[in-house]
Amino acid sequence: ELDIPQIDPIQLKGFNVAILDLVNITLVDGVAKGVKECTVNKFEANFDDLHASIELVCDITIKGHYSVYSGSPLIKNFLGGDNIHGDGNGKAKIEKFKIAFDFDFTVEKRGDDLFIKSSIDKMKYTYDVLGKMVFAADNLYVGNKEQSASIVKLMNENWRILMDMVGKQFVEKAMSFVFNFTQKFFSNVPTKNYIVDDLENYVSS
């Protein structure tokens, strides 16, 4: 009714990520859950500067149908001439994922109500994993040999390195949903529903 997008679960289709141009992973069809349970550690809005900041901590689970392939000479050399490939079900759980972002905004009046109009042009964000990442997957092969257990074990032992490699790509995708939700929420929900102060003096001309 308010045109605010659903935030949990988030449908993910055809999301591709490359690890240093060595391995290509595609989430063919999946979902991300946990956003609605995020804890808001901080929400500050400075109406003199027209600037706001938000900090969230979430437990996120991503699961679905994946495909992976690597024909990289470096990978083949490391594996004795074999490549990595797979097509199956996978899951990644990110425990205590912290993301902080800030953005500029204006206050606009429509009818008798005031609304915040957020701007993402200069939005900045930082992120970190305060807990850990846990992976699970089936149908992973090295050459013709099924090696899901060994590969997943290696991923779980080196999750921080993997996060450093691909985290930015995942976060940019996640932030596109956050930006969309933030803009739709502020554009459709009058400030009187979540701010008690009178903001009439801050309405942009």
Tell me the pairing of strands 51-70 and 39-46.
antiparallel
Q: What is the pLDDT of residue 5?
A: 63
Other Cβ atoms less than 10 A from the Cβ of 191: the count is: 18
**Element (H or E) spanning 137, and its range?**
strand 133-137
Please report the pLDDT score of residue 18 as a whole number. Answer: 80
pTM attached to this predicted model: 0.81
Q: What pLDDT, on the 0 to 100 scale, is given for residue 47?
A: 92
| Other residues' Cβ atoms within 10 Å of the Cβ of residue 30 | 21
Residue 197's identity, in one-letter code, is D
pLDDT at residue number 133: 94
| Host H or E run for residue 119 | strand 113-129
pLDDT at 93: 95
Can you give the pLDDT at residue 1? 56
Which stretches within the chain are classed as H helix?
Answer: 73-78, 148-157, 159-188
User: DSSP string of 161-182?
Assistant: HHHHHHHHHHHHHHHHHHHHHH
10-104+121-189, what's its fold? Bactericidal permeability-increasing protein; domain 1 (3.15.10)
Q: Tens-digit pLDDT profile for the chain (205 aa)? A: 556 666 778 888 888 888 777 788 999 999 999 888 889 899 898 999 999 999 999 999 999 999 999 878 877 777 666 888 999 999 999 999 999 999 999 999 999 999 999 887 778 889 999 999 999 999 999 888 998 998 899 889 999 988 888 888 878 877 787 788 888 888 889 999 988 888 999 998 7
In whole angstroms, give the CA distance from residue 44 to residue 32.
27
- Rg of the Cα atoms in the chain: 21
Look at residue 37 and give its three-state secondary structure: helix
Domain positions in the chain are 10-104+121-189
CA dihedral for 170, 173, 176, 181, sign (positive or negative): negative
